[in-house]
Structure 1
């Protein structure tokens, strides 16, 4: 790679790092096509620290260049950082499909800081914010963007319901197994699939399970029944459906499902707001998948700043050109 240094050393001015601006711009372009900082460092015979600093300067440039155009729909989500329940909170532009910023922890204070990273004019133009049913997120949204509707994310609700079905399955499987019945053993993923995603064989096997009149089958039916909520466009109809579904859940006497229903009832206004805005954190989930690949490539991060830099570099859609 020595030809690179010959070509770039005679061009442009030298930046603070000691590299020419032309060369630093080349490093940024290379990093955009390679998620491994170490791989780029090795290829260009640079230290990891030098490449990291180039990336940080690129992100700083990009963040300064961001305009204050209106952002109508925000998504706020958490992402694990290190082991031991350490998280970061990420704010996304749902229409633009980009990460706007990242802060440490998932507290109200941290989320307020995240929202404050938007210009005051932008905050006033936000129409809705898609969030999980995590109270610190809701408190921060009401404080910094009070005019925006809080919309609780259907993907998280689906996860809570899936977890409840699995809790019922595990309880029932233990009881059946103690009586010598192995019906539910190995069936975990069958209950997590939606009918349209089953192959013919999977559907046949699942139909056989459903004929056993299991508590798990009842839990699955209640979870699947709630999917009809998301196609309703009238708030009144959605509220009526939720009450109808809640009554069915109560009659089931299945504690894991009832627990999720009670949590949803406490946050019903945010769930009903979906009928108005039709937003979800699907964009956030897609960005989270990309962030997970970045984490895997880096084999973890020792500092929050390095983590934030890489998230914004690869997911922020920044103008980082020199």
Structure 2
């Protein structure tokens, strides 16, 4: 029987099919090398003869047509006439003494990203220990490649914009810091911790970090980050992340809402509290029904309505200010509007705004935010939940680097 076209589908040019046995869920393909002998791996002589085939290796390959596929490949013994060495035939598609082809191992490793080793092991009917070994080997190789490539791209990028933000390992207790290339859309590295000392330690001990030359760095209002960036990137514009800043304004709005609802009836208090999240939403994103509910909530107290309009004006300032010069004038107007309300909770927010005025206005010099960074942080959180966390710090870091740079992996 001719297996010409099946040989082409198998796509392993160094072997040819001898026989195929199939059942409902499984296919066993017996193959043999096309060449009669193989050069000596020690002296590279072509003067080699066969010493027989003591056994055949059973190697699992990629599934085909809904069936698992195993290759039966001969373990051909060879002897070199030149140097007298004996060796076994080496196949390029499978490593010595391995039970899975390179293609199948690569497939198994790729299946594990986005899920767990246990899940992939069960679905592919592969022993957990084998699945873990394959995945960790592939992860180590990929993370090194991805990390080096992402950092090299950032070093070479013109007008580089960095993003810095922390993410929780254990909420309220332990944090790491993520370093991002916002312009290239890459996750560069994980910095252990978020204090000034930990950031300095990372920068001092990483050569590639010292080669970065950003024109701007986007971050939240954490003083440690700004001090760190001011020291290492003195020429870069420090931009306060828009969404972190806006959170201070929405928190002030919610504080006013809590203040107002204390004086309301029980029913009105419950109504206002249950719809409080709609107050944070942008007015132009509200549906007609949501607009009606918001207007009803604002009708409870003029202080709440005034603060809500003040919050919307801040969003308009971010969206519509054409440049930094005009943004500064509009910001002063918005600041005075907040002061005129004479509310302590609003004044607390304005105090923060005044302290970080330049960094907030810098957004209008270069319009970058950490929105993509927050997306990667959510991916990291999902990864940590999926793995019930991991004690191996190396694997933890490697997996985050690969998962957050899937385009490079």
Contact 1:91–1:114 at 8 Å: present in 2 too?
Answer: no
Identify which of structures 1 and 2 has the higher relative contact order when contacts are C-alpha pairs closer than 8 Å and 6+ apart: 1
Matched residue, 2:275: 187
Greater strand share, 1 or 2? 2
- 1:11 deviates by 4.1
Matched residue, 1:132: 220
List aligned pairs for 1:214-293, cutoff 5 A.
Answer: 214-230=302-318, 231-293=320-382
TM-score, reference length from structure 2: 0.68
After superposition, the CA RMSD in angstroms is: 3.1
Is 1:31 the counterpart of 2:112? The answer is yes
Is 1:163 the counterpart of 2:251? The answer is yes
- 1:65 deviates by 4.3
Structure 2 unpaired stretches of 5+: 1-25, 27-58, 63-69, 74-90
Aligned match for 2:295, one of 193, 201, 207: 207
**Judging changes above 3 Å, is the alpha-carbon distance between structure 1 residues 286 and 182 closer, same or farther for their aligned structure 2 residues?**
closer
TM-score, reference length from structure 1: 0.85
- 1:97 deviates by 1.5
Cα distance in 1 between the residues matched to 2:358 and 2:127 = 56
Matched residue, 1:45: 127
Aligned match for 1:58, one of 130, 136, 142: 142
Matched residue, 1:150: 238
Deviations 1:230-279 (A, max 9, x none): 12133222122222111121221222222122112111111111111111
Greater helix share, 1 or 2? 1
Contact 1:28–1:58 at 8 Å: present in 2 too?
Answer: no
* Number of aligned residues: 317
Please state whether the residue corresponding to 2:239 is helix, strand or coil: strand
**Judging changes above 3 Å, is the alpha-carbon distance between structure 1 residues 310 and 302 closer, same or farther for their aligned structure 2 residues?**
same
Contact 2:60–2:104 at 8 Å: present in 1 too?
Answer: no
Structure 1 unpaired stretches of 5+: none
Contact 2:203–2:209 at 8 Å: present in 1 too?
Answer: no
- 1:177 deviates by 4.6
- 1:280 deviates by 0.8
Cα distance in 1 between the residues matched to 2:121 and 2:100 = 14
Cα distance in 1 between the residues matched to 2:219 and 2:268 = 44
**Judging changes above 3 Å, is the alpha-carbon distance between structure 1 residues 181 and 91 closer, same or farther for their aligned structure 2 residues?**
closer
